Amino acid sequence: MTRIGIHDIAMATTKYRLDLPLLAEAQGIDPEKYRIGIGQDAMSFPAADEDVVTLAAAAAQPIIERHGVEGIRTVLLATETGIDQSKAAAVYVHALLGLPHSARAVELKQACYSGTAALQMAAGLIARDPRQRVLVIATDVAKYDLDSSGESTQGAAAVAMLVSADPAIAVLEGPSGVHTNDVMDFWRPNYRVTPLVDGKYSVRAYLRAAEGAWLDYRALGGAAFEDFAAHCYHSPFTKMTAKAHKHLIGVSGGQATPAEAEAALADTAVYNRAIGNSYTASLYLGLLSLLDQRDDLAGELVGMLSYGSGAVAEFFALRVVEGYREHLRTERTRAQITRREPLDVAHYRELHELRQPSDGGDHAVPVDTAGPFRLAEYSGHQRVYRSR
């Protein structure tokens, strides 16, 4: 059987960050509510000329530079903050990266889950033709209403993965357990810029879906919970991952305190604590954080729990490949996070309230991003992207 999985992985985030103690001060609340209560320290926030397309292209660029474009027949871009009701954001990324015309480009949506759908679809394409490689990109900008309960969980990032046969980083192994249930815990109608969310209900929906996906995985012959060296979870905020981990331990017949569950996931939480919720990208930021922080996972099994409100969940396993550390970009990743420029609350609020012009006129976007690609202008109801 052909071994299929993640051959390369890279991330990108925004120029700016907002430190949550500043937000707490502006809201008149205790900063510990964010640092301890939800397990977050800061959020990435985009400059005016950054969006899901520029982040996606920036995340994928180092992969293209390392491996070239030969054999890439498909680009699957997962996002829940798309920029057009018809044209896939993947098509813009395809052009910015200079990919061949003989590569399909598609956008996938199901809240925070669709990055995993893209990974599984990529595996299916490669199983049919192992000569092909698929570029999978999860990219999102999480934005909530100002002064809402979700404001502190905002964030923005993209993770790109090159999926191939005989991968250098991790192999998809065994069955996938899935769970779908029609619930209204989080959604964004077409007429809204920001989502609607029932926070407490969403936590319960997440836990139920995680349990359903895990039980389905086990029913299909998946590995026992104790066989995993580590677990990664979708992270709307890092305390949620600890809740999910504790819950699955209990479902599997074990016990763990909240502190023990949190400690078990510490290596996966480093990047998400600093970046905030990046929706489709957050699970894979957790994986990247784990690979960068943990000394050696070669040969080990990693459990992956993907969740998207509405709701779809999937549990699957990755087997880490010997020599994987030689292919990581640990210092580059850490530098991207630490070099973000701090925002004050006034500047953050100004960026938060920016909207795309709707008059169809010509509107240049000031150069601000430090990334390799930017949203340069709006013209004739079109978004125009350029390399810097």
- Mean pLDDT of the chain, nearest integer: 98
Q: Is the pLDDT of residue 71 over 90?
A: yes
Which is the catalytic residue, given 7, 50, 107, 112? Answer: 112
Q: How crowded is the C-beta side of 281, counted as CA atoms within 13 Å?
A: 37
Q: Is the pLDDT of residue 1 over 80?
A: no
Instruction: Calculate mean pLDDT across residues 373-388.
Output: 97
Q: Which among 183, 177, 189, 188 is positioned nearest to 203, based on CA atoms? A: 183
- The response to whether 378 counts as a known ligand-binding position is no
- The response to whether 144 counts as a known ligand-binding position is yes
At 290 the three-state DSSP class reads: helix
In the chain the first and final C-alpha atoms are separated, in Å, by 43
What percent of the chain has a predicted confidence (pLDDT) above 70? 100
Tokens of 239: 């305390």
Residue 80 bears catalytic tag: yes
Which sequence spans correspond to the domains of the chain? 4-387
Backbone phi and psi for residue 381, each to the nearest 5 degrees, phi listed first: 65, 20
What is the CATH T-level fold of the domain 4-387, as seen in this structure?
Peroxisomal Thiolase; Chain A, domain 1 (3.40.47)
Residue 65 bears catalytic tag: no
Q: How confident is the model at residue 64 (pLDDT cuts 50, 70, 90)?
A: very high
DSSP code, position 39:
-
At residue 24, the pLDDT reads: 98
- The response to whether 206 counts as a known ligand-binding position is no
Predicted TM-score of the model (pTM): 0.98
Q: Is the pLDDT of residue 254 over 80?
A: yes
Backbone phi and psi for residue 361, each to the nearest 5 degrees, phi listed first: -80, -175
239 alpha-carbon distance from chain centroid: 17
Which string of DSSP letters, residue by residue, matches 173-223?
EEEEEEEE----SEE--TT-SS-EE-HHHHHHHHHHHHHHHHHHHHHTTPP
Q: What does R_g of the chain's alpha carbons equal in angstroms?
A: 20
Which is the catalytic residue, given 234, 245, 247, 352? Answer: 234
Which is the catalytic residue, given 7, 50, 80, 211? Answer: 80
Q: Which among 212, 275, 207 is positioned nearest to 238, based on CA atoms? A: 275
Residue 232 bears catalytic tag: no
CA–CA separation, 178 and 305 (whole Å)? 10
- The response to whether 166 counts as a known ligand-binding position is no
